[in-house]
Amino acid sequence: MRVLVTGGAGFIGSHIVAALTAAGHEPVVYDALLPAAHPREPELPDAEFVRGDVRDAEALESALRGAGAVCHQAAMVGLGSDFGDAPDYVSCNDHGTAVLLSAMARRGVSFLVQAGSMVVYGEGRYICPGHGVVRPGPRDVADLDAGRFEPRCRLCGAEMAPGLVTEDAPVDPRNVYATTKLAQEHLAASWARATGGRAISLRYHNVYGPGMPRDTPYAGVASFFRSALERGEAPRVFEDGRQRRDFVHVRDVAMANLAALGAVGEQPGGRHTAYNAGSGHPHTVGEMATALATAFGGPMPVVTGEYRLGDVRHITADSSRLRRDLGWKPVVEFADGVVEFAGAPLRSPAAT
């Protein structure tokens, strides 16, 4: 099948292109190569390449000719610097998605796999010993300043135990990027209903692996740590390092996209379905920093106590729905993936 991969020259997109090629598909890389993500001309995947922006309807319609599906990876990612970035996030992520979906409707392309994100949940799942599952609100700045990082039960103030988040959890995006990722899902669902198409949103958790961009505010925490080590500096771990994440290897994420493409014509969850795409094995940020520093050969991480507003404390995935419905399961173990990542080259730094 001919598959258009928006953002196909990027970190995750390039791995998806490689997986598509290996599986016998015909990927088409569609990427604007914007300087914020590609300050230097990147090494392009071995596939047909179209240089274009997802906000360019004419270029999209041309690139979509003959396509049976789209893997939509193009996006402006990360927390950004301040709220002044909001128009750019909305333009790239939401307006761009709307233009893409409109072009797909005109071309009769009826299947979409959208790169979603776990950030749509806000905080993860918490269990209070007295009140059961409790949804915490945003953490108080005074608590963060005092080093009190764990959300407490809003009903009794007790400490809560974090758990795995399912796709049925309430959404609670807490920054501009998260809001745009949720809007992308809503647009995809609206497109599917209006056109009779099928859309799958893969809510990626903390993706890491070879080819991550270095030294950029738009990359994940694993990239920050790896970049610091390459400079000979100790990774700086925010808060107390005990915040939990689900680190999932980029090749497993690429295979999740292939599994989603295999669902063409099937509708296990209706015309639009969201799936968590995580390893299912939580690790703390401190554990990632320590494992990466050990594999790299030091220096060992420093826990700073600093924090970023908009960060959440714990967010880890229950990916059993993706395993059950689409037959996907991650195969890269955390220890093996970290060792590989410690020695893998990083992409050129993004422009700031």
| Per-residue pLDDT reduced to its tens digit, 29-82 | 999 887 666 666 767 777 899 999 999 999 999 999 999 999 999 998 765 557
Enumerate the domain spans of the chain.
2-125+163-343
Query: Which is higher by pLDDT, 105 or 38?
Result: 105
Largest CA distance in the chain: 58
Q: How many residues does the chain have?
A: 352
- 266: CB partners within 8 A, 6+ apart: none
Nearest to 334 by CA among 206, 228, 218, 229: 206
Average pLDDT of the chain to the nearest whole number: 91
Structure token pair of residue 282: 């939580």
Judge whether 230 and 214 are in contact, CB under 8 Å. yes
Strand-pairing partners, residue 49, are 29
% of residues, the chain, pLDDT over 70: 92
Neighbours of 268 (CB within 10 A): 12
Closest CA to 73 of 116, 32, 18: 116
Q: Residue with structure tokens 């990876």?
A: 73
- Tell me the Ramachandran region of residue 259: left when phi exceeds 0, alpha when psi lies from -120 to 50, beta otherwise: alpha
pLDDT over threshold 80, residue 258: yes
Q: What is the pLDDT of residue 169?
A: 93
56 Cβ partners below 8 Å, 6+ apart?
A: 99
Residue 192 has which token pair? 């599917």
Confidence band for 269, pLDDT divided at 50, 70 and 90: low
Looking at residue 218, its pLDDT comes to 52
Q: How far apart are CA 58 and CA 149, in angstroms?
A: 48
E strands of the chain, at which residues?
A: 2-6, 26-31, 48-51, 69-72, 111-117, 125-128, 132-133, 161-165, 198-204, 206-208, 236-237, 244-245, 247-249, 272-277, 283-284, 302-303, 316-317
This prediction has a pTM of 0.93
- Among all residues, which ones are annotated catalytic? 177
DSSP for 223-264, written as a single string: HHHHHHHHTT-PPEEPTTS--EE-EEEHHHHHHHHHHHHTTT
pLDDT value of position 352: 32
Query: Check: CATH 3.40.50.720 for 2-125+163-343?
Result: yes
Q: How open is the CA angle 115-205-109, to the nearest 5 degrees?
A: 15
Radius of gyration (C-alpha) of the chain in whole angstroms:
20
Tell me the two tokens of residue 240.
């107390």
Total H helices, total E strands in the chain: 11, 17
